[in-house]
Structure 1
Amino acid sequence: MDFQLKPLTIAQAAAEKSDVLIVLVGSAPIASKDSLSVLAASARKAGDLPDKAGKLLSLYRPDDVVASRVVLAAIGDGKPASVRSGVIAAVNAAKAHRPKRAVVVFAQPADGAAVASAVTAAADASYVYTTTKPKAEARSIRHLTVGVADAAGASKAFDEARATVLGIELAKEWGNRPANHATPTLLAEAAKELGRLSNIKCEVLGPKEVEKLGMGSFAAVAQGSSEPLRFIVLRYQGAPKDQAPVVLVGKGITFDTGGVSLKPAAEMDEMKFDMCGAASVLGTFRALGEIQPAINVVGLIPSCENMNDGKAVKPGDVVTSMSGQTIEVLNTDAEGRLILCDALTYAKRFEPAAVIDIATLTGACVIALGGVRSGLFASDETLAGALQAAGEQSQDRCWRLPLDDDYAEGLKSNFADVANIGGRAGGAVVAAKFLQRFVGDFPWAHLDIAGTAWKSGAAKGSTGRPVGLLVSYLTTRAADKAATAPPKAKTKAEPKAPARKAKSPK
């Protein structure tokens, strides 16, 4: 979708050429006296447009409006969450008429956060997957103009939102692809494409390199598949080389059968979404390539299939991780933590400022938080607070869960340093405690996105989460770093040499 930001009042928006005009009406008084503003104010007063965010009133060919269709959408208090509800409802209503050009205008003053919310919501509501569905109708809204009184003040937030949309939609694209169209090799090719963007480099390691590194835990998961594993290393350098990077680690199981501990057949097709952590890392780097924040970021994606053949790892097998710790594999369906632990060990070589792993890790987290908030575990209070704040800002919310040492008791093994599962109780926390063993001293956070990475049922598909959260966290961190940086010392200008007079040609 092509986005444009313009300084528009409702009267000016009414004169814009478009197929549909969406007017976002908050609960505050409407100051304008043009015909459309008066109509919106009258509809509110009559109760035809309640203040509750998401309520709509559709109009056909109202006077003094170029667009044939107008949708008045309530946004209540005008906060980002309310704006999102109003825009999604309005775009969903407008899609039935296949509009190609749409204008969204705020009836009252709106800040950058509200504008950003309108951009991401419109993109989310109009997204269409077509990669393996060639006969599907493409996205109808091709061009969206967002109108707000203070366009200059909202421009930075608008640009970052537009870049975030590119990242979210890349994550959706790879999350939605069937497993035969999203193998570890194809995922690595997608990462290499990102290497063409400014300040991004990509390196891909194969089975031989992974074996040489001693990633026995990662390799064990991959050994039951004919598809070769890939270990993807992305680097974004937007700051000086000596600035410690933030490392993002994304779980990249491109299909998860459960291995010998086979999953039930019902809804097993959804296990193509088990690489949504990896997809979110790809999406975040896509956004970074557009925004170019002053920060260094490393992305690590261990990617393989968890399949079942004569070579597959078995319950009771003991494998040796890159850290040297041995792991008793009591359940081959707890494979995500087996590939992440080696990636977390690998992350130490970058001497990171922080490490965040993102994984569709446990069904227990789905039971605990449903599909509303991602699970957050963190060893560092500052990092936890920053991620929670980024989640609120981006409306890609998370909820912090505990990391008490008592939860790790169930991971004790008689035959290895640690088992890969404990009991059923507190499964999301136990999984996080397993990962924490491989973290080291650097600040670490784990995002369990098993409930938020995709939707089931009629709306089945990837959500692109938590790209919004990650981009918000990284751009805020970059801005804070820039704000606290000491001013550069001014160097004395060298005296200019006296100008020479040109000699006249003889």
Structure 2
Amino acid sequence: MEFIVKSGTPEKQRSSCIVAGVFESRKLSTVAHQIDAVSGGAISSILRRGDLEGKPGQSLLLHNIPNLPSERVLLIGCGKEKEFNENHYRDATAKAVSILKDTGATEATSYLTELDVKGRDISWKVRQAVEVTEAALYRFDQLKSKPDNSRRALRRVVLAVPKRSDLGPGERAIHEGQAIADGMKLARDLGNLPGNLCTPAYLADQATEIGKQYGLKITVLEKDDMQKLGMGALLSVARGSRQPPKLIVLEYDGGKEGEPPVALVGKGLTFDAGGISIKPAANMDEMKYDMCGGASVLGAVKAAAELKLPLNIVGIIPSSENLPDGDANKPGDIVTSMSGQTVEVLNTDAEGRLILSDALTYAERYKPAVVIDIATLTGACVIALGAHASGLLANNDQLAREILGAGKYTHDRAWQLPLWDEYQKQLDSNFADMANIGGREAGTITGACFLARYAKNFKWAHLDIAGTAWKTGKEKGATGRPVPLLVQFLINRARHDGAEAAA
């Protein structure tokens, strides 16, 4: 998809389709009003007939508007003007794309970017338009014998900006939006692949390809390497699988030599049947998405490299399968993690925290500035927050605020839960240093409490993306979240560090 920014009034745009907004009670946006004036009142005349009220979700496609060089005009309902916000803007953009891809138009000019969104500038609106458009056009059909190619694809979108001085910021916003969208596509593609194709070895191969493309250092630790390091927690999970485990490490050196890196640690369970504590059969196919944390790390590192961020980044992905087998973990088994701490495995389906514990310990050797782990860790997080926000827990308040701010800006939001010492008692074990579960109460928090025991020597945050990494039901599929949040966090870090250096 090609995106460009352009400044100019609609009567001068020669386009397959012009997109403009209409607010409730048939109130024309500024651009819609300009089209109406040029066409001799054609738009207002049509609206008076009751074809479009301007409510959210409404649309009206018009052809051959008088005195307009464009072939079509697409009017999008935006709701009440005073209530038009970030969410309405994203929904209006997505609605426009859904209509455009069914029209046969290969090019369109959107003036939705000129609508006023409180507190957001033109750069935000342009970047969101790119991300939302790419997400709306995404299809995963490469495994179908006959992909649907019945419609001509939308290949070019012009995003209008009010002033010529907005062209520079707009172009930078497109570059950022495209990098984030490409990172999300990578994460979605990996998540949507079935477990028989997307194995730990496949993830390692994908990381190697990214490394070749962007000149990253790639290290893949094999089973023997992990045994030498004492990664007993990770290896215990992999024992039930025929697929050998991998610990995948990507190093992006965009910052100063010796500068402490940001470490991103992503859970890479390519299929999770629960092990001996086997999951219910219904919807178990969705456990191919248990590697979405690892996929988001690959997507975020790829985007950071594409943007050439002046930052050092380490991506670490512990990857394995979790299956029932004669050699698999059994409830009551005790394993020794790389840190030397022992864990009583009371539930083999609480395996993500086991593989992450060794990865967090491994991350310590990079002397990181901060560490963020990303994992589809607990069903409890889905119950608590649904599909709208990722769960956030952290041992550092400033880091938590940075992550929350990045999520709010990108509309890839997180919500912070407490990480109080009182919850740690639920992990007490009579036979080991800790148990791997803490009971039914506060499952998301106790999962993070377990990880916190391996993150005492650095600033650390945990993102539980069990509710946000994929959609279920009719729209089943990976979402690519939280790639936008992670990339914005990295952008903010790079800008902040650069500002401090300049000062």
- Distance of 2:37 and 2:300 partners within structure 1: 40
Q: Does 1:341 align with 2:338?
A: no
Deviations 1:4-33 (A, max 9, x none): 2222432233x12x3x43224577851763
* Correspondence list, 1:196-211, <5 A: 196-211=212-227
Alpha-carbon distance change, 348 to 90 in structure 1, aligned in 2, over 3 angstroms: same
Runs of 4+, deviation exceeding 3 Å: 24-29, 31-55, 64-69, 74-80, 106-110
Cα deviation, residue 432, structure 1? 0.5
- Distance of 2:37 and 2:331 partners within structure 1: 68
Conserved 8 A contact 2:407-2:485: yes
Cα deviation, residue 411, structure 1? 0.7
Alpha-carbon distance change, 72 to 422 in structure 1, aligned in 2, over 3 angstroms: same
Query: Partner of 1:348: helix, strand, or coil?
Result: helix
Residue identity opposite 2:202 in structure 1 = L
- Distance of 1:203 and 1:65 partners within structure 2: 58
Quick check: 47-56 or 94-103, which moved more? 47-56
* Pairs aligned (count): 484
Q: Does 1:33 align with 2:39?
A: no
Cα deviation, residue 39, structure 1? 5.3
Residue identity opposite 1:2 in structure 2 = E
Alpha-carbon distance change, 481 to 67 in structure 1, aligned in 2, over 3 angstroms: same
Cα deviation, residue 341, structure 1? 0.5
The equivalent residue for 1:495 is none
Quick check: 458-467 or 200-209, which moved more? 200-209
Q: Does 1:190 align with 2:206?
A: yes
Query: Partner of 1:197: helix, strand, or coil?
Result: helix
- Distance of 1:94 and 1:384 partners within structure 2: 39
Q: Does 1:84 align with 2:90?
A: yes
Alpha-carbon distance change, 58 to 29 in structure 1, aligned in 2, over 3 angstroms: closer
Query: Partner of 2:407: helix, strand, or coil?
Result: helix
Alpha-carbon distance change, 453 to 250 in structure 1, aligned in 2, over 3 angstroms: same
- Distance of 2:36 and 2:195 partners within structure 1: 53
The equivalent residue for 1:100 is 106
2:156 pairs, out of 135, 143, 150, with: 143
Residue identity opposite 1:145 in structure 2 = V
Query: Partner of 1:195: helix, strand, or coil?
Result: helix
Q: Does 1:124 align with 2:130?
A: no
2:380 pairs, out of 345, 364, 370, with: 364
TM-score (norm 1): 0.90
Conserved 8 A contact 1:84-1:121: yes
Query: Partner of 2:111: helix, strand, or coil?
Result: strand
Conserved 8 A contact 2:10-2:34: no
Question: Quick one: percent identity of the two aligned structures?
Answer: 46
Residue identity opposite 1:388 in structure 2 = L
Cα deviation, residue 181, structure 1? 1.3
Cα deviation, residue 43, structure 1? 6.9
Cα deviation, residue 238, structure 1? 1.0
- Distance of 1:62 and 1:158 partners within structure 2: 30
Deviations 1:405-445 (A, max 9, x none): 11121111111100000110110001000000000231111
Conserved 8 A contact 1:22-1:102: yes
Alpha-carbon distance change, 439 to 50 in structure 1, aligned in 2, over 3 angstroms: farther
Conserved 8 A contact 1:237-1:297: yes
The equivalent residue for 2:12 is 12
- Distance of 2:500 and 2:55 partners within structure 1: 41
Conserved 8 A contact 2:54-2:76: no
2:288 pairs, out of 251, 268, 272, with: 272
Q: Does 1:300 align with 2:316?
A: yes
Cα deviation, residue 156, structure 1? 1.8
- Distance of 1:200 and 1:443 partners within structure 2: 24
- Distance of 2:49 and 2:489 partners within structure 1: 43
Alpha-carbon distance change, 133 to 21 in structure 1, aligned in 2, over 3 angstroms: farther
Residue identity opposite 2:498 in structure 1 = A
Conserved 8 A contact 2:22-2:29: no
Conserved 8 A contact 1:200-1:236: yes
The equivalent residue for 1:472 is 488
- Distance of 1:413 and 1:365 partners within structure 2: 24
RMSD between aligned alpha carbons?
A: 2.2
- Distance of 1:447 and 1:197 partners within structure 2: 28
Residue identity opposite 2:259 in structure 1 = Q
The equivalent residue for 2:64 is 61
Conserved 8 A contact 1:54-1:87: no
The equivalent residue for 1:497 is none
Cα deviation, residue 104, structure 1? 1.9
The equivalent residue for 1:490 is none
Conserved 8 A contact 2:11-2:69: no
The equivalent residue for 1:165 is 181
Segments of structure 1 that go 5 or more residues without pairing to the other structure are 488-506
Alpha-carbon distance change, 334 to 43 in structure 1, aligned in 2, over 3 angstroms: farther
Conserved 8 A contact 1:320-1:327: yes
Deviations 1:201-249 (A, max 9, x none): 2111111111111111000000110011111001111111221111000
- Distance of 2:85 and 2:443 partners within structure 1: 35
Segments of structure 2 that go 5 or more residues without pairing to the other structure are none
Query: Partner of 1:358: helix, strand, or coil?
Result: strand
Residue identity opposite 2:3 in structure 1 = F
Which structure has the bigger radius of gyration?
1
Query: Partner of 2:101: helix, strand, or coil?
Result: helix
Q: Does 1:181 align with 2:182?
A: no
Cα deviation, residue 200, structure 1? 2.3
Conserved 8 A contact 1:8-1:105: no
Cα deviation, residue 111, structure 1? 1.1
Residue identity opposite 1:21 in structure 2 = I
- Distance of 2:44 and 2:167 partners within structure 1: 23
Quick check: 49-58 or 407-416, which moved more? 49-58
1:219 pairs, out of 235, 238, 246, with: 235
Conserved 8 A contact 2:418-2:445: yes
Residue identity opposite 1:55 in structure 2 = Q
Conserved 8 A contact 1:112-1:154: yes
Residue identity opposite 1:346 in structure 2 = Y
Cα deviation, residue 63, structure 1? 2.8
The equivalent residue for 2:431 is 415
* Correspondence list, 1:415-434, <5 A: 415-434=431-450
Conserved 8 A contact 2:265-2:374: yes
- Distance of 2:378 and 2:134 partners within structure 1: 29
The equivalent residue for 1:22 is 19
